[in-house]
């Protein structure tokens, strides 16, 4: 009897863990394609080229500082997501937009998905996400890429 109860409890725990993990993975599904990722070196080259057409760069996370970026703040907070929506509402749908957070790897980031989802919901057609696979410090600052003064 105790063995059956223990097995039942173990099975219930396993189902609960699997369900939660599956739910978490579904909620963190990527909302972007590989083509919508921009490598840091490419953005840095654009920023450093005085003749290049500059994209609109938005910092939608906890860290700002890339040269020319507009700091929105963490869009995991409703007030900052609304602020981002207001900024986007003034732009044409084909605006060249790059967003970044840089707090942590994408799979842990609370800001990337809400921002990219909003861009898609608002039907933007030329949005990119800066591919900071580790964080802003490792993938941008340590490489000497341009920062705001």
Q: Which two tokens stand for residue 58?
A: 């938005």
Q: What are 97-145's pLDDT values in tens digits? A: 999 999 988 888 999 999 999 999 999 999 999 999 999 999 999 999 9
pLDDT of res. 32? 77
Domain boundaries, the chain: 1-30, 32-143
CATH architecture under which domain 32-143 falls? 3-Layer(aba) Sandwich (3.40)
The Cβ of residue 66 has, within 10 Å, a number of other Cβ atoms equal to 27
Contact criterion met (CB below 8 Å) for 68 and 59: no
Tokens 């409703």 belong to 78
pLDDT of res. 5? 52
- H or E segment at 89? helix 78-89
Contact criterion met (CB below 8 Å) for 128 and 38: yes
pLDDT above 80 for 71? yes
Name the average pLDDT for the chain.
84
Please, which pLDDT band fits residue 11 given cuts at 50, 70 and 90?
very low
pLDDT of res. 33? 85
């Amino acid at each position: 009897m105790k063995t059956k109860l223990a097995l039942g409890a173990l099975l219930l725990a396993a189902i609960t863990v699997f369900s939660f993990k599956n739910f978490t993975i579904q909620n963190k599904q990527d909302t972007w394609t590989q083509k919508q990722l921009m490598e840091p070196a490419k953005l840095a080259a654009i920023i450093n080229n005085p003749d290049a057409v500059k994209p609109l760069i938005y910092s939608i996370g906890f860290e700002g500082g890339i040269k020319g970026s507009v700091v929105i703040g963490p869009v995991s907070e409703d007030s900052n997501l609304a602020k981002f929506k207001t900024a986007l509402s003034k732009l044409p749908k084909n605006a060249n937009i790059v967003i970044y957070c840089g707090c942590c790897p994408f799979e842990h980031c609370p800001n990337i998905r809400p921002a990219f989802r909003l861009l898609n919901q608002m039907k933007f057609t030329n949005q990119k996400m800066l591919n900071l696979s580790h964080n802003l410090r490792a993938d941008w600052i340590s490489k000497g890429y341009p920062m705001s003064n």
